[in-house]
Structure 1
Amino acid sequence: MSPRSIPRRSLVLGAGLVMAAPQMVLAQGARPRVTMTTSQGTIVVELEDRKAPLTSANFLRYVDAKAYDGGSFFRAARNDWAPTEGTIVAQPPAKARPFPPIRHESTTKTGLSHVHGTISLGRFAPGTATNTFFICLGDQTFLDAQPEQPGDNLGYAAFGKVVSGLPTAQKILAQPTGGETKFADQKDQWLKKPVIIETMRRA
């Protein structure tokens, strides 16, 4: 079946947009890890800071600012052809002011792919991504860049993977949907009760 339940151009919500990029140098050594403590359990992600340095640095900038505390996983986009697979989408609380958007790091450049457990940055047009991210449950490789396709074929910026807590992510994906949204193509994907992000910290 065609992967049509998660339109590439509208996977996640955008945020305030101003054109600039954060300047941050990540520490050398082990890949950074971030612990997400949510109302449904804990998820730990490991970032590919060497393969996707700009996107990883952007994410850590929000984590270090505690910008995700009080945010939520608000959307569970389950695949029509495999309801236990899809993406869960999160964002900071509305009061959190976004940093400037960053340059898009395509999967053709990073060598990463939207496989099971991947964490990736949401966007509208390339260069508009700020703080909305999603986690893949099941392989979602149609979200990779596809240069042979017409139009906006740059995909999304994968930048890490879940190393602990996939059952928690799966539990979030299974939460009741049908919450209110103004986006017609996201109908029946917003959670009736968002899953709260209590804290997000470097592990």
Structure 2
Amino acid sequence: MLFRTTFLTLALTASVIAQAQTTPPPKPAPAPSPAPATVRVVLETDQGRIVLELEKERAPVTTANFLRYVDQKRLDGIGFYRTVKVQAAFGFVQFGVQNAPKRVLPPIKHEPTTQTGVKHLSGTISTARYAPGTATGDFTIMVGDQPSLDADPSQPGDNLGYAAFGHVVEGMDVVIRVLDATPSPTAGEGVMKGQMLVPPILIRTARRLP
């Protein structure tokens, strides 16, 4: 009996060893996917849908600021209120909160294009500002390449340009329709006179895309 028990134990041990030798080792758990470098936001407007792709790694401060306005629904119900058309299919359109007390958030640090590498090409979204560090909740979208809005240390003044932080990936035709809208000849002050849309072109909602 002892011999039989010992034989069975040895046989079972041999079987386990053989199985261990033939069974492949477990595969390591897959590494988590890296976080995407960009995030997309859709603007649903009276003229159609505009999808923006934002550079959250290259322009983190400016992108985070825009996303705060989106996530807090501060852009819902505002409009494209300004159109600057230099020539056919060239200029920019502007939208935002216009310093409305219930919508505006504190200003942010300026991120120049020399730091981010995000240039003012056609379809680029950028943040409007006065002095560097005053940007809040007003934004422009380029129609046509506009390198004059990039930072340029060789130029006079603050020479820091504007903070570009993403670009249009869908709905550039909508942006051009906004650019082609007829502004009021009398609304606006200073350089903005004759550039204001009355009424603005409504942005119904602004939401992140999954």
The runs of 4+ residues in structure 1 deviating greater than 6 Å are none
TM-score, normalization by structure 2: 0.79
**Counterpart pick for 1:147 among 127, 143, 153:** 153
For residue 179 of structure 1, report the CA deviation from its aligned partner: 5.2
For residue 182 of structure 1, report the CA deviation from its aligned partner: 4.1
Kept in 2: contact 1:69–1:92 (CA 8 A): no
For residue 113 of structure 1, report the CA deviation from its aligned partner: 0.8
Aligned to 2:54: 47
For residue 160 of structure 1, report the CA deviation from its aligned partner: 0.1
**Structure 1 residues 185 and 64: CA distance shift in structure 2, 3 A:** same
Aligned to 1:72: 79
> Higher helix proportion, which one?
2
For residue 193 of structure 1, report the CA deviation from its aligned partner: 2.5
Distance in 2 of aligned mates of 1:175 and 1:108 = 33
TM-score, normalization by structure 1: 0.82
Aligned to 1:60: 67
Where do 5+ consecutive residues of structure 1 fail to align? 1-26
**Counterpart pick for 1:118 among 117, 124, 127:** 124
**Counterpart pick for 1:161 among 152, 167, 182:** 167
The structure showing larger relative contact order (alpha-carbon pairs under 8 Å, at least 6 residues apart) is: 1
Alignment of structure 1 residues 83-122 onto 2, 5 Å? 83-92=88-97, 94=100, 96-122=102-128
**Counterpart pick for 1:170 among 176, 199, 202:** 176
Bigger Cα Rg: 2
Greater displacement, 69-78 / 29-38: 29-38
Kept in 1: contact 2:37–2:56 (CA 8 A): no
Kept in 2: contact 1:39–1:196 (CA 8 A): yes
**Offset from partner CA, 1:133-156 (integer Å, 9 cap, x none):** 010001111111111011121100
Distance in 1 of aligned mates of 2:188 and 2:179 = 20
- Count of matched residue positions in the alignment of Structure 1 and Structure 2: 175
Question: Percentage identity across aligned positions?
Answer: 48
